[in-house]
């Protein structure tokens, strides 16, 4: 497999966690949801997406896809951090 094809596959794989986070965000709703599961899931998927974006950018320097993937996955890192902060503030 050529370096270009591997890079494109990794870029697509770095966008999959963004889609998965969006689906999880809308599927798991309500007052009786385990919020720590949501925080862990968002954090792990976003970290995986960022790692894949960095590897694919290192293989082939495509800045537009790298920035889009970094912003998308970074958004869910911020969401997870805010949820974790909210859970820390709400504990007695």
pLDDT in tens, 11-51: 888 889 999 999 998 998 888 888 899 999 999 999 999 99
Residue 53 · residue 14 · CB < 8 Å: yes
DSSP alpha helix (H) spans, the chain: 3-27, 35-59, 63-90
pLDDT at residue 78 above 90?
A: yes
pLDDT at residue 90 above 80?
A: no
What value does the mean pLDDT of the chain take?
87
Closest by Cα among 49, 48, 27 to 38: 27
Question: If pLDDT is split at 50, 70 and 90, which confidence band does 66 have?
Answer: confident
């Amino acid at each position: 497999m050529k370096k270009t094809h591997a890079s494109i596959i990794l870029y697509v794989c770095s966008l999959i966690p963004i889609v998965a986070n969006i689906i999880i965000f809308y599927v798991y709703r309500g007052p009786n949801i385990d919020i720590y599961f949501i925080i862990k899931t968002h954090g792990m998927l976003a970290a995986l997406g960022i790692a894949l974006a960095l590897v694919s950018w290192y293989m082939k320097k495509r800045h537009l896809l790298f920035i889009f993937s970094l912003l998308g996955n970074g958004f869910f890192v911020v969401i997870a951090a805010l949820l974790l902060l909210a859970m820390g503030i709400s504990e007695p």
